[in-house]
Structure 1
Amino acid sequence: MATDTDIPFEAALLARAEQVETRLRALLDSRPLSGEIVRPERLVSAMRHGVLNGGKRLRPFLVLESAALLAPGHDETPALTVAAALECIHCYSLIHDDLPSMDDDDLRRGQPTVHRAFDEATAILAGDALLTLAFDTLADDAIDLPSDRRAALVLALARAAGAGGMVGGQMLDIEAEKSAPDEAGIIRLQAMKTGALIRFACEAGAILTGASTGDRERLAEFGSAIGLAFQLADDLLDLTADAGTMGKATGKDAAAGKGTLVALHGQVWARKQLNGLVEQAHALLEPYGEQASMLKAAAAFIANRNN
């Protein structure tokens, strides 16, 4: 589906989510693939619980729309596969984040977290399996992309998700409970824990379509701006929203004494900063004209979301 720029943003987001959901259901089939022996029923059920539980599918949306920006009318099947692989990584991170040894949460998207619905060991294994499945999906010859593009996607996602990206950011977040970082430390932590996968989502469109280095760098920079906006909005919501609206516990960062930019500068500053990040994101997309309207709407949505 090539997104019509006249479609309202939230309708487009929902349509993309439905596309990605279909692909995720196929990936999470209980039947073993070639080279596998068996997929244990309880493990697959836990994986499905952690993935097929709603969610905006914002990161997949960014993959699909960044590819559509650079190659309007292209075959979206490979982009959908990349989008689903990225969502597997994101959901694995949420399953592990929710564990008692991490954030110890009972709810995710308004439903029991995986370790509550199943058990802690099964939740750990479900996350491990989703992480592995993501790279299995990208490496499979079934994704109709030149081998150099597939390799570039695998490398970029591994860097975004690993020790120098999301997982490293999670480690810094744990350390922040003991020693609050300064402003530069908070920004670095958030760029890794939250921003790295969002940056990859935007950059992936350029890799998928074989776009120029300039386009890849521009979309990666756009991803960095909206990644920071996402975390800033999330920190605001943690202070101002209720658990029913968010579908998860709120107020936990303040209770744990974690340093955030909102705690450092206040809510008024944070809202001004969000406006500035949206302006920065929009400016980066100006060379693409009207074709970038959906990604511009995504930046505004991220900054102004209420859950």
Structure 2
Amino acid sequence: MDQINRELLNQLEKDLVPQINNVLKLELPNYVSDDRLSNSMSYSVNAGGKRLRPLLTLAILKTYNVNLTNEMIKLASAIELIHTYSLIHDDLPAMDNDDLRRGKPTNHKEFDEATAILAGDGLLTLAFEWVSESNIGNEKIVKLIKQLSKSSGSNGMVAGQSIDVNNSGKKLTKQELIKLHSLKTGELIRYSVMAGLIISEASDNEIKFMMKFADSFGLAFQIYDDILDVVSNEKDLGKPVNDDADKNTYVNLYGIKKSYELLDNTIKDGLDSLNELDIDTDLLKSFYSYFDLNGR
């Protein structure tokens, strides 16, 4: 397997996560007219997280030598608003009925169900407002909005959530499970990569292999998340462990050993795709160091 330089991801996180957090913290309240709604939206957005999705967009831009202005940080951070909205709704009693998220009470526990639903609605629509305000040209804005609509909506993440909810208690096949998570988890990662490619005006060939990388990273992310639910602890995970015991996960379908093998093969596929490109992809390869495989 390719040599992965963890320090590249560490430095990217050190440089850009504080900027992403700052944009989210300072900009969001300017777009909300009701104080309680603003507090609820900010509560979940500012609860933490690795900001992997905006980091992916910004890593693509760095790969193509695009200047990472504050406006670009804000544009990339729009996906974090969508991601946070999905977590708020995912935690609701009608969905997963979770009490903890990132070590803190979930939004509906801190506020109430109605406010949590509205906070999610607000974050979803605000993401499109941020994209629409970008100074990158109308053609690119339209492409981004179209991709974001597809990835987050009824042909993407929402469809995945629907499949998940409607198959509770039913054991899915491998292909059904891959479809579920390619929509529920993978589509926002696909958008994050595609957004960077659209802004950077990447070639069709580059887009082809970059999207294979995106699909690989999205699948690896879900497999790793399923593994962590079994092998991690509540303090590190920020939510109860073994919470997916009755859900459709890779660990429940394959077991731990086979899931690790599947994770290894998925990472290899992504690295192979990046190796097909004639540009420096070491920064993108470093994202695979997110999956700490030393503790197996």
**Shorter chain as normaliser: what TM range?**
over 0.9
| Aligned twin of 2:160 | 169
Distance in 2 separating the partners of 1:94 and 1:258: 17
Match of 1:253, SS state, is coil
Q: Deviations over 1:100-130 (max 9, x none)?
A: 1111111111111111111111000000000
The residue aligned with 2:78 is 85
Identify the match of residue 40 of structure 1 among 26, 31, 34: 34
14 and 100 in structure 1: CA distance in 2 versus 1, 3 angstrom threshold: farther
Counterpart residue number, 1:219: 210
Query: Aligned Cα RMSD in Å?
Result: 2.0
Q: Deviations over 1:13-56 (max 9, x none)?
A: 23321111121123212x45xxxxx7110100000001011110
Farther off after superposition, 217-226 or 6-15:
6-15
Shift in alpha-carbon separation, 1:271–1:7, aligned structure 2, 3 A? closer
Aligned residue number for residue 249 of structure 2: 260
Aligned AA (2:72):
A
Matches within 5 A, 1:122-271: 122-140=115-133, 143-254=134-245, 257-271=246-260
SS at match of 2:244: helix
Shift of residue 164, structure 1, vs aligned partner: 1.2
Q: CA deviation at 1:72?
A: 1.3
Counterpart CA distance in 1 for 2:292 and 2:181 is 15
- Would you say 1:278 and 2:271 are equivalent positions? no
CA distance in 2, matches of 1:277, 1:118: 39
1:292 aligns with 2:281: yes
Moved over 3 A (4+): 5-8, 75-79, 287-290, 302-306
Pair 250,50 (structure 1): closer, same or farther in 2 beyond 3 Å: same
Kept in 1, the 8 Å contact 2:58–2:68? The answer is no
The answer to whether the 8 Å contact 1:173/1:189 transfers is yes
The AA in structure 2 aligned to 1:183 is K
- What's the CA shift for 1:251? 1.2
Higher relative contact order at CA 8 Å, sep ≥6: structure 1 or structure 2? Answer: 2
Contact 1:96/1:102 (<8 A) preserved: yes
Sequence identity percentage: 36
Q: Is the 8 A contact 2:209 2:277 kept in 1?
A: no
The yes-or-no answer on 1:99 pairing with 2:88 is no
Once the two structures are superposed, what CA deviation does each residue of 1:49-106 show, in whole Å capped at 9, x if it has no partner? Answer: 010111100111101001211x215344443222210000000000111111111111
* Cα contact 1:199–1:222 (8 A) shared by 2: no
The answer on 1:59 being equivalent to 2:45 is: no
Q: Which residue does the alignment assign to 1:25?
A: 25
Change (3 A) 1:285 1:76: farther
* SS of residue paired to 1:252: coil
**1:232/1:19 Cα in 2 relative to 1: closer, same or farther (>3 Å)?**
same
Partners in 2 of 1:78 and 1:44 — Cα distance?
22
Residue 35 of structure 1 is matched in structure 2 by: none
- Partner residue of 1:72? 65
Residues 206 and 277 in structure 2, CA contact (< 8 A), matched pair in contact too = no
CA distance in 2, matches of 1:57, 1:210: 24
User: What is the distance in 2 between the residues matched to 1:305 and 1:68?
Assistant: 29
8 A Cα contact 2:57 2:195, kept in partner: yes
